[in-house]
């Protein structure tokens, strides 16, 4: 994921050009986060919807956590759904 482009887009959404120091500080933090490309997209979407001003790194971090949790829940639900389906299938085959 090109984080410089991502941050540039986020800054453009707020029509600001952050200082070099701020940009480097943000990039340093963002590089440690392990998000999938679609999660980065969700992160910027939600940040723009939620904050009328350029969000601080802590606020972005909160949203990133939220996005990750949702992805985990989704993955768990899918996993449980599959288990349930398998279980149903097993039961049906045993009945027949």
Partner 1 sequence: MAQRRMISRNLGSSRKFHAVNARCGKLGDFAQALFPLIVVNADDFGRLEGDAFTVKHKVFPVSPRTEEDFETVLQAMNAVGLIRFYEVGGDRYLEIVNFDREQPGLHKRTKSDYPDPPPTREDFGKFPEVPGNSQDFREIPGDSGNPGNFPDEPNLTEPNRTEQTRNGTAAEAAPSPEVLVEIYKAENKKLTQVLEFGPERRDKCKRRLAKDPKKFVDQFTRAVIKAQETPFLCGEGDRGWKADFDWFIANDRHVIRVLEGRYDSATRASPGGGAETVFDKIRKEREERNHGSDRVA
**Which residues of the chain form contacts with partner 1 (CB under 8 A)?**
4-5, 7-9, 12-13, 15, 17-20, 23-24, 27, 38, 41-42, 45-46, 49, 70, 73-74, 77
Work out whether the CA dihedral 19, 22, 25, 31 comes out positive or negative. negative
Least Å distance, CB 94 to partner 1, is 31
3-state secondary structure of 17: coil
Cα separation, 71 vs 86, in Å, equals 23
Least Å distance, CB 46 to partner 1, is 5
Cα separation, 14 vs 47, in Å, equals 10
* Nearest residue to 72 via CA among 33, 31, 32, 35: 35
- Six token digits for residue 73: 């829940």
Residue among 21 and 94 whose Cβ is closer to partner 1 = 21
Least Å distance, CB 58 to partner 1, is 20
Least Å distance, CB 86 to partner 1, is 21
Residue among 84 and 91 whose Cβ is closer to partner 1 = 84
């Amino acid at each position: 994921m090109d984080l410089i482009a991502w941050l540039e887009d986020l800054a453009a959404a707020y029509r600001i050009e952050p200082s070099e120091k701020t940009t480097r500080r943000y990039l340093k933090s963002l590089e440690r986060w392990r998000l999938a490309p679609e999660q980065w997209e969700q992160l910027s979407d939600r940040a723009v919807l939620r904050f009328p001003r350029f969000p601080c790194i802590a606020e972005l971090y909160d949203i990133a956590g939220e996005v990750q949790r949702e992805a985990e829940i989704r993955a768990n639900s899918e996993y449980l759904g599959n288990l349930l389906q398998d279980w149903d299938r097993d039961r049906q085959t045993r009945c027949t």
